[in-house]
Amino acid sequence: MRLVDGTAISAPGGGSAEWRLHMGYDPHTCQFTDFELTDSRDAERLDRFAQTADEIRIADRGFGSRPECIRSLAFGEADYIVRVHWRGLRWLTAEGMRFDMMGFLRGLDCGKNGETTVMIGNSGNKKAGAPFPARLIAVSLPPEKALISKTRLLSENRRKGRVVQAETLEAAGHVLLLTSLPEDEYSAEQVADCYRLRWQIELAFKRLKSLLHLDALRAKEPELAKAWIFANLLAAFLIDDIIQPSLDFPPEVPDPKRRTNSLWRITKMVIWSLQVAIRGTVSLTAYKTQLKNARHRLNEAPRRRILQMVQPLS
């Protein structure tokens, strides 16, 4: 599985973002696999990185609005799971007629997931190719989560001075996923479970910005700015390699007695250790003092819910 996402990086002084960092991430090894730095005008593309035959590429809704990018994977080597908006693509039936998305959602049993096969048309560009088939999965949110989703949608649009369409509010009770994975090998629930792993790349970006301060760009001149970003990425890749032996996995059943290793805390410790090594101010006395509490400090706090991480392969 490869998670893909991007993040904006702004120059000193605020203002609009000047750089966009596109990354690929392996949730099993907790390592970045690909990266590309572009200016802020370069949009997200599902087909940005080279494909491999055994890959499942997972992306958020920002990647699900360009049919030509999805087509590249649909007819390529990799499979994909991408979240889509109910009006984000040109939905067609097998006969080439308009697909009634809201009719499909309203026809689902209350609280049940549903799926169908749709055709994805081009966006008016005749050179983009003929419509291609895809598997559409509608994951119904629990009532409490659906309410949170709708409340957030109303709040965001109210802040921007926009009116939410009734259909958009109704569709907010579902997560719409588009995938090329075959139904006989991956159920709708398994596809949804795979998509939930996408949060791992969000956390990886948060570690880059909060612990390595990747977003604290200190240069406006383009070449200096790129050097700063690449230096931070080099440190991030080095840290990924260092923490590999410490990776842990959450139990399949919540266990209050089991405290898994915290990737955030371990990363923070490695960054501190690298800084100490570079400055040459290591204190063995301080290390010995902290060793007694190291196990406790590097673990996650007790929690009821299972961490959304890849379980170890059997």
Both 197 and 209 in one domain: the answer is no
Q: How does pLDDT run across 25-79, given as a tens digit for each residue?
A: 999 888 899 999 998 888 889 999 999 988 999 999 989 888 888 998 989 899 9
Both 103 and 6 in one domain: the answer is yes
In a domain? residue 22: yes
Q: Which domain holds residue 185?
A: 2-201
Total count of domains within the chain: 2
Residue ranges in the chain whose pLDDT is less than 50: 312-314
Q: Which residues of 144-174 are buried (b: 16+ CB within 10 A; e: fewer)?
A: eebeebbeeeeeeeeeeeeeeeeebeebbbb
pLDDT of 314: 40
pLDDT of 313: 44
Q: How does pLDDT run across 65-83, given as a tens digit for each residue?
A: 888 889 989 898 999 999 9
Both 180 and 263 in one domain: the answer is no
pLDDT of 243: 83
The answer to whether residues 25 and 33 touch, using CB atoms and an 8 Å cutoff, is: yes
Look at residue 226 and give its three-state secondary structure: helix
